[in-house]
Structure 1
Amino acid sequence: MPRGLIVVCGATATGKTALALEIAQSINSIIISADSRQVYREFDIGTAKVTGSERELIPHYLIDICEPTETLTLAEYQEQAQNLVKSNITEFPLLVGGTGLYIKSIVKGLKIPRVSPQPQLRLQLQDLGQQQCYQIFKQVDPVGSEKIHVNDQVRTLRALEVFYATGIPISQQQGENPPSYPIIQIGLDCSSEELKKRIVERTKKMIEMGLIEEVEKLVKKYGWDLPLLKTLGYAEIINYLRGKLSLPEAEKEIISHTRQFAKRQRTWFRAYPEIEWFDTTSSNLVEEVLSKLEKSLTRLN
């Protein structure tokens, strides 16, 4: 078991990677990624994946562990991350990223039904329509249906999928089992205007680094309909390559959609009072965070 876990979280473009590298070097630790797209190989520039040189500085885990044609479930991610945390590679591993559900699955110890996707069942349920599916859901799991909106097709289908695969309502299979080791959570944030500036700069940098060429290569290898190519940063470039958008329009849409995404991330993380927030624009950010960690780690000794 580790002596503790350090979480570095926050919205996209707030500087989590840079800070985590500084912390990991300072305390001789490792980094476990909590990014739902960086688990996939070949999706590099558009996901702001850490570089090879950064990985040489500090061991990184749960990056490039899946083929783009595969699907990593939350349960699979949680199991792999928990095993890494418990492996005693280091006393205080760092869990770093902006995928709130990934982080929550570890720090809260979410109980997740181990039911893999059932494509054929989903197709049959989708043919029934959302209204009919939700009525079935209410019949088999009245408790669970109260927590899911009547128009939430994704969660309704998942709930029915779990029920038909196990015979047990999803509400009876969920809950939390928090880990026994202490967790220190560091959040990075800044003003909306500063975040917008960072997102603009990052988007331009991605295009300069070869985002268009990356997407062209992925399309050539996997085709236009690969689900990952419909995600943020890739979908807009796909529309550019198909002639639906000019490059300036695609760039503008990436910026707009990234800002919307960042807003949702900020809302998610702000709901957790245990996160201690730091201003990413502070000239003494690293020192401030390391001072906080030193005090917290000292209390654990």
Structure 2
Amino acid sequence: MLKNIGQTLLVITGPTATGKTALSVELARRINGEIISADSMLIYKYMDIGTAKPTLEERQGVPHYMIDIIEPDQEYSVALYQQEVEKIIPAILARGRVPMLVGGTGLYIRSVVAGFHCSQIGKDEAFRQEMQQLARENGNIYLHEMLARVDPPTANRLHPNDQKRVIRALEVYHLSGKPFSWHNQPQNNRATPYRILQWGLTLDRELLYQRINRRVDEMLQKGLVQEVRWLLEQGYSPTLTSMQGLGYKEIAAYLNGQISLPLAVETLKRNTRRFAKRQLTWFRRDPAIKWLDVNSEPETLVLQITRDLAGLSPGM
């Protein structure tokens, strides 16, 4: 077990389907760690299969935070995430344990690691309503193209149908005069009080795509269609931000009679592959991330990380 590594925050990230959950749980068990989810879909209650939410059995008794914290129809933001995590990290450290930020939502991770102040950029309801009206008249792609003109990095990261976040990025530019991606640069924000160590999981793209396809098939076997049907029956609209997530949007379209199930499944696999590609593009821009090939045995990866940490810990 590691001792005396000080005010250190570990980050385990990478694209979907690279095995972040299993690796992080095993690492946490070895180093007395506690896991903070950095996944924008795991915050929602009742959405388990489509989000690949780790079960209690998979968590193996390791404390997890920022999972199942809001209803699917509740609003949430990066600023709220940042505020909550900045309370959780010192509490973990005060218990003499190691905080581990684990997930694939780059903006959540960046909000903590780079420390940019999301909440300091206010809101403009009139502007939001104007953007929503433009989307109704011209489609989501119109807003996405507007964003691409003023903030290409953020537009590249966001799907055109992620209307809420596209509008927020446009709103940030409208209010501050600077693109959202500018506010996301470490040099433009406060220094974090923690020593940050980051590892990213990756593998050959074709192998990654095969994993994604298998994961989608497994989700269907576990009851993804039934889960989405239940959410719709509870009155959760398919237009909600939560229901626009991968798996939920495609299956909702099938259940609403818009497409066939085979087409919904193929669309989900395609959209997930594209999402993984965007994730890789986002994380590859960060030179602080040390990349690990998940073709290696999980034990090898855990040992590699613990060896990296041993240099910080005279008690190892």
Secondary structure of 1:47's partner? coil
Check conservation: 2:150, 2:179, Cα contact below 8 A.
no
1:177 aligns with 2:190: yes
Instruction: Give 2:276's match in structure 1, choosing from 262, 274, 277.
Output: 262
Q: Match for 1:78: what amino acid?
A: Q
Q: Match for 2:85: what amino acid?
A: A
The 5 A counterparts of 1:156-235 are 156-160=170-174, 163=175, 174=183, 175-221=188-234, 222-235=236-249
Aligned-partner Cα distance in 1 for 2:301–2:101: 18
Gaps of 5+ in 1: 131-144
Per the alignment, residue 244 of structure 1 pairs with 258
Per the alignment, residue 134 of structure 1 pairs with none
Aligned-partner Cα distance in 2 for 1:50–1:63: 9
Gaps of 5+ in 2: 137-147, 156-165
1:103 aligns with 2:109: yes
- TM-score, scaled relative to structure 1: 0.83
Q: Match for 1:108: what amino acid?
A: A
Go from structure 1 to structure 2 and tell me whether the alpha carbon gap of 1:125 and 1:249 turns closer, same or farther (over 3 Å shift).
Answer: closer
Percent identical among aligned pairs is 39
- TM-score, scaled relative to structure 2: 0.79
Aligned-partner Cα distance in 1 for 2:238–2:150: 35
Q: Match for 1:100: what amino acid?
A: G
Aligned-partner Cα distance in 2 for 1:125–1:190: 39
Check conservation: 1:2, 1:86, Cα contact below 8 A.
no
What are the superposed Cα offsets for residues 119-151 of structure 1, whole Å, 9 maximum, x if unpaired?
555214544789xxxxxxxxxxxxxx99536x9
1:293 aligns with 2:296: no
The 5 A counterparts of 1:35-54 are 35-54=39-58
Check conservation: 1:240, 1:250, Cα contact below 8 A.
yes
Aligned-partner Cα distance in 2 for 1:125–1:201: 38
The runs of at least 4 aligned residues of structure 1 exceeding 6 Å deviation read: 170-173
1:20 aligns with 2:36: no
Per the alignment, residue 136 of structure 1 pairs with none
Instruction: Give 2:151's match in structure 1, choosing from 144, 148, 152.
Output: 148
Aligned-partner Cα distance in 1 for 2:124–2:230: 30
Go from structure 1 to structure 2 and tell me whether the alpha carbon gap of 1:190 and 1:84 turns closer, same or farther (over 3 Å shift).
Answer: same
Secondary structure of 1:5's partner? strand
Q: Match for 2:151: what amino acid?
A: I
RMSD: 2.9
Per the alignment, residue 123 of structure 1 pairs with 129
Per the alignment, residue 85 of structure 1 pairs with 89
